[in-house]
Amino acid sequence: MIKLKGLRKKFKDQYVLNGIDLDIEQGEIVVIIGPSGTGKSTLLRCVNFLEQPTEGEITVGDLTVDFCKASKKDILELRRRTAFVFQNYALFANKSALDNIAERLIVVDRWPKQKAHDKAREILKRIGMEEKAESYPAALSGGQQQRVGIGRAMATGAEVILFDEPTSSLDPEWVDEVLALMKQLARERQTMLVVTHEMSFARDVADRVIFIDGGRIVEQGPPSEFFSNPQDPRTRDFLKKILADQPA
């Protein structure tokens, strides 16, 4: 289980996140939506200390970390239990797909190179890219690069995978292949926390949808209720605007 308690993040004198409390059960797929600039991506980055939270506490499994007192050991252990999928892929340009997936296993988890490469080949097969093992990012489509990024996260065996707008940098023709892989992970009950504007994914795959505005959770619920009967006026206004631009 993942638990956030009293998460706050301040930039200069302004709180971007202002008191986030959130529990995520093992195997749950939680989708976060909301207007741009409201703290969605910052929330994900605070979970594994890509951003330093201002205050609050996080629990992942049996590990609890006070954001204000976290040691380097705490942060490293937290990052071992979480994996991040970036919107811009964040692959090493000078490494093959195989090596991009194996890199963390070798450098962070101290796996022997052969063991890491065997695991990377297993992951490439699972994501349908076994034949691209020796290809470099420049030779891959945007969708393929993002699938490698997801494969890298899968290889870690993390308790939760954090997805930050995983399709926002993709040309439309590559979006479906990335969403298909995420749906595959959902069927396998991989715990996921996803920031996205893909409302069809939220409807079809999420166990719970959360609407954030002004750095706070405004409303949350199962997709069937969230989309058909939103309770807060801010949620209704947001859905009206964004759904007008997307297929039903």
Beta strands in 77-222 (DSSP E): 82-85, 160-164, 192-195, 208-213, 216-221
8 contacts: CB under 8 Å, gap ≥ 6: 15, 17, 18, 19, 20, 53, 54, 55, 56
Q: Which of 244, 149, 248 is nearest to 200 (CA)?
A: 248
pLDDT in tens, the chain (248 residues): 899 999 999 988 899 999 999 999 999 999 999 998 889 999 999 999 999 999 999 999 999 999 999 999 999 999 999 999 998 888 999 999 999 999 999 998 899 999 999 999 999 999 999 999 999 999 999 999 999 999 999 999 999 999 999 998 898 889 999 999 999 999 999 999 999 999 999 999 999 999 999 999 999 999 999 999 999 999 999 999 888 766 55
Q: Note the residue count of the chain.
A: 248
Instruction: Please name the CATH architecture into which domain 2-14+24-195 falls.
Output: 3-Layer(aba) Sandwich (3.40)
Distance from the first to the final alpha carbon of the chain: 33
Distances (CA, A) of 205 to 4, 31, 56, 135: 22, 9, 29, 31
Which residue type, as a one-letter code, is found at position 31? Answer: V
Distances (CA, A) of 70 to 49, 78, 171, 195: 10, 10, 39, 25
Query: For the chain, what are the domain ranges?
Result: 2-14+24-195, 220-248
Q: Are 124 and 151 in contact (CB under 8 A)?
A: yes
